[in-house]
Amino acid sequence: MSMVCTGCGAPLQMEREGEKGYITGDAFMREFPLCQRCYRIKHYGEITPASVTEQDYRAAVMRALERPAVVLYAVDLFDFNGSVVRGLQGVLRQHEVILAANKFDLFPLRTNPDRVRSWLWREARRHELEPAEVFVVSAKSGGGVQSLFDRLRRDARDKPVVVVGMANVGKSSLLNKILQLSDPEEGQLYTTSPFPGTTLGALAFKMAKTGMTVIDTPGLLGTHRLQDRVCTDSLKQILPKQRIRPRVYQLHAGQTLFLGGLARLDFVSGNSQSFVVYAANQLVVHRTKLENADELYERQRGRLLNPPCSSCDPTLQQLVVKKMGFKEGRPVDVVIPGLGWIRLSGAAVDLRLHTPAQIEPAVRPALI
Ligand SMILES: Nc1nc2c(ncn2[C@@H]2O[C@H](COP(=O)(O)OP(=O)(O)OP(=O)(O)O)[C@@H](O)[C@H]2O)c(=O)[nH]1
Ligand SMILES: [Mg+2]
Ligand SMILES: [Zn+2]
Ligand SMILES: [Zn+2]
């Protein structure tokens, strides 16, 4: 059998139940055969843990990009820093790249999409991406997707559109939305789920009405992002479900903020100033005195300071400290990939950021 599942792209097989691409004879006869895993995701919201290795990932993407393509580079606007695929810049230079920043629906209503777009142009360059165009979209609400689709249709007359990106940024959701715009009768072709690692292989689809071919690819998983390290229960605590309510803290030196038990920011010195937390609304943010922070963490991790829980990767409890000093200037975001960011006001400040080993915090010009 050399057919692939029409939801996730895994090669279909009837021998090994529980493994990738397993399908029963009945399901195999359908027009759009779906593997058992996809069937369960679609109908019961179940998931089996991801199994796309970095090697599988690179092989699938390289193959899809062997011939000229329009690359739809999808990033999650809530986790721009965690969305940059490392080591892909060279290959991408041989294609036209359209950057789509997804999940804009999670941003506060007053967020100006034009400002976000200018910010994205600058950040994309800083990460050595050279997109031909930048779109701010939401696969969930459909916002911005029509203009994106119009642009792709213009450029991809004789080339396929290949969507690439890190796991869980919404690549498959975005393609489903585009297919729907092309033909409203179209169902949800590509399998999507809240868990990283849903799509398992490259999966092409030719749209009947426009003649355009789109190719979905698996997402890359990374140890530097929290969404790829926490257990499925804890994932629900860190992924935003609705529009983010910024949480403003007026702090003075000698105070600490905990974001669950996954990040801790110590305000070491500086004048009193505001810190704005952008994270999932359901994530606990706890303010305490710096002098009590060590003891509180020991006593409350996995309880008040949750996630991580006992089912998460235990190395998430090994916090690494990074000193950060800022002179007076423009506001910046201190980013914890997968968890969110803390916007600093631009006043001079000395901080210490504690995050789990291998998570790679970053500092960037403020997004909002
Ligand atoms: N709020 C919001 N959630 C979205 C949006 N687009 C996708 N999602 C959600 O993000 C999660 C991941 O979506 P997928 O489309 O499966 O992501 P993917 O990039 O294909 O993921 P992999 O196949 O694992 O690489 C799902 O829970 C989607 O419902 C969006 O625009 N807004
Ligand atoms: Mg996918
Ligand atoms: Zn499948
Ligand atoms: Zn957990």
- pLDDT value at residue 91: 94
The residue-averaged pLDDT of 121-133 equals 96
Percent of the chain with pLDDT over 70: 99
- Enter the DSSP assignment of 84: P
- pLDDT value at residue 305: 98
User: How many other CB atoms sit within 10 Å of the CB of residue 166?
Assistant: 25
Give 57's pLDDT tier (boundaries 50, 70, 90): very high
Give 185's pLDDT tier (boundaries 50, 70, 90): confident
Query: Is the pLDDT at 49 greater than 90, yes or no?
Result: no
The residue-averaged pLDDT of 250-269 equals 98
The residue-averaged pLDDT of 174-203 equals 93
CATH architecture of 49-222: 3-Layer(aba) Sandwich (3.40)
Measured in whole angstroms, how far is the alpha carbon of residue 365 from the centre of its chain? 19
Q: Are strands 255-259 and 263-269 parallel, antiparallel or unpaired?
A: antiparallel
83 lines ligand 1 (CB under 6 A): no
Domain boundaries, the chain: 1-48, 49-222, 232-365
Which tokens in the block code for residue 342?
Answer: 């803390």
User: What amino acid is encoded at 284 in this protein?
Assistant: V
Looking at per-residue pLDDT, the higher value among 48 and 362 belongs to 362
170 lines ligand 1 (CB under 6 A): yes
Query: Is the pLDDT at 48 greater than 80, yes or no?
Result: no
The residue-averaged pLDDT of 111-117 equals 97
The residue-averaged pLDDT of 194-204 equals 95
226-247 residue pLDDT tens: 999 999 999 999 999 999 999 9
Q: Name the least confident of 158-167, 178-187, 314-323, 332-341.
A: 178-187
Query: Is the pLDDT at 322 greater than 80, yes or no?
Result: yes
Residue 307, preceding bond cis, omega within 30 degrees? yes
Q: List, as one string, the DSSP characters of 99-150.
A: EEEE-GGGS-TT--HHHHHHHHHHHHHHTT---SEEEE--TTT-TTHHHHHH
CA 81 – ligand 3 centroid, Å:
29
Nearest atom, ligand 1, residue 165 CA: 19
Phi, psi of 15 (to 5 degrees): -95, -45
Phi, psi of 36 (to 5 degrees): -65, -40
Average pLDDT over the chain, rounded to an integer: 95
Q: Which residues surround ligand 4, an ion (CB under 5 A)?
A: 231, 234, 307, 309, 311-312
CA 99 – ligand 3 centroid, Å:
26
Give 2's pLDDT tier (boundaries 50, 70, 90): low
